[in-house]
Amino acid sequence: MKLLRHGAPGAERPGLLDADGTIRDLSGTIPDLAGDVLSPGGLARLRELDPTSLPALPATTRLGPPVAGTRNFVAIGLNYADHAAESGAPVPKEPIIFLKSLNTLAGPDDEVAIPPDSRKTDWEIELAVIIGTKAKNVPLESALDHVAGYAVCNDISEREWQMERGGQWTKGKSADGFGPLGPWLVTADEIPDPQDLAMWLEVDGQRRQDGSTRTMIFDVRTIVSYVSRFITLHPGDVITTGTPPGVGMGMKPPTYLKPGQEIRLGIAGLGEQRQRMIAGG
């Protein structure tokens, strides 16, 4: 299933994308895509629905983040060896964990405001993992049982704040709207191998990133198990899993985003995003 949330920012309602690509409203069936709805039983009940019985919505309907009730927005740094190389960093021996503020969560096609004192706003296409059931100290072999599905994420980053302002990554990752997610949550049963997904990103039509989840240092199973040792994960939590090479910081010379530019990005089977950069106030 492709699950989504639609409507104005802060007032999104649950929905799904049917086999014909029509957005259908689920708000008469479930309160939101959160909590027990994301569990195996909750998703099984949604699969039993006839999508054609649900109200259809216009194709122009705004999509928000495809999950609600998020408590933790966890990110994994330097999880692709070639990206670590372009960043001038050693390959990590264990997953590098940092957090993005929940105010970064945004719809897949929302405008992104560059903070007024930002000089180095950058892009990062990433595979996001959506947690479906509580995960605490979960063993490696059962880690994927806690995954409801997957989504596209753009882990937008302000590199000066991240790297040059005291070494604290979270403050370079947490400006409003710096975590576009979606367009939909694709349930795990439709993604049999999350380690074999092509991913790409373009800036103003120029391909910048062209990679695959095959080159992750730590795979999804390892990441979920590892993070659950330090942070109890709850339904609706998001883990974004790192980016392949091609970020602006790694270009020669480094190149960063400016108002008026457009980013397009996508992951095979998970859909595409499009964001226009604007000047923040």
Q: Could you tell me if 182 and 108 are in contact, meaning their C-beta atoms sit under 8 angstroms apart?
A: yes
User: Which among 111, 165, 68, 129 has a CA at the least distance from the CA of 270?
Assistant: 129
pLDDT level of residue 105 (50, 70, 90 thresholds): very high
Q: What is the pLDDT of residue 87?
A: 72
**190 assigned to some structural domain:** yes
DSSP 73-109: EEEEES-BHHHHHHTT-PPPSS-EEEE--GGGEE-TT
pLDDT level of residue 83 (50, 70, 90 thresholds): confident
Q: Could you tell me if 202 and 264 are in contact, meaning their C-beta atoms sit under 8 angstroms apart?
A: yes
Q: What is the percent of the chain with per-residue pLDDT over 70, rounded to a whole number? A: 100
How far is 193 from 94, CA to CA, in rounded Å? 22
**179 assigned to some structural domain:** yes
**184 assigned to some structural domain:** yes
**46 assigned to some structural domain:** no
264 pLDDT higher than 90:
yes
Burial of 22 (0-12, 13-18, 19+ CB in 10 A): middle
**61 assigned to some structural domain:** no
85 pLDDT higher than 80:
no
pLDDT digits (tens, 9 = 90+) for 107-148: 999 999 999 999 999 999 999 999 999 999 999 999 999 999
The structure tokens listed for 209 are 């990133």
Neighbours of 58 (CB within 10 A): 8
Q: Which residue has the tokens 């790297």?
A: 163
**58 assigned to some structural domain:** no
**34 assigned to some structural domain:** no
pTM: 0.96
Structural domain of residue 87, as residue ranges?
Answer: 67-279
Coil, strand or helix: which one is 161? helix
Neighbours of 116 (CB within 10 A): 8
Number of domains in the chain: 1
User: Which among 168, 203, 235, 239 has a CA at the least distance from the CA of 30?
Assistant: 235
Q: What is the pLDDT of residue 86?
A: 75
User: Which among 123, 92, 41, 111 has a CA at the least distance from the CA of 281?
Assistant: 111
pLDDT digits (tens, 9 = 90+) for 166-201: 877 899 999 999 999 999 999 999 999 999 999 999
In the chain, beta strands by DSSP E: 2-6, 13-17, 23-25, 56-57, 73-77, 96-99, 105-106, 112-114, 121-122, 125-131, 147-154, 157-158, 179-180, 185-187, 198-203, 206-212, 238-240, 262-267, 271-279
Give the CATH number of the domain where residue 217 resides.
Answer: 3.90.850.10
Q: Pick left, alpha or beta for residue 252 (phi over 0 → left; psi -120 to 50 → alpha; otherwise beta).
A: beta
**57 assigned to some structural domain:** no
Q: What is the pLDDT of residue 159?
A: 95
The structure tokens listed for 195 are 């380690």
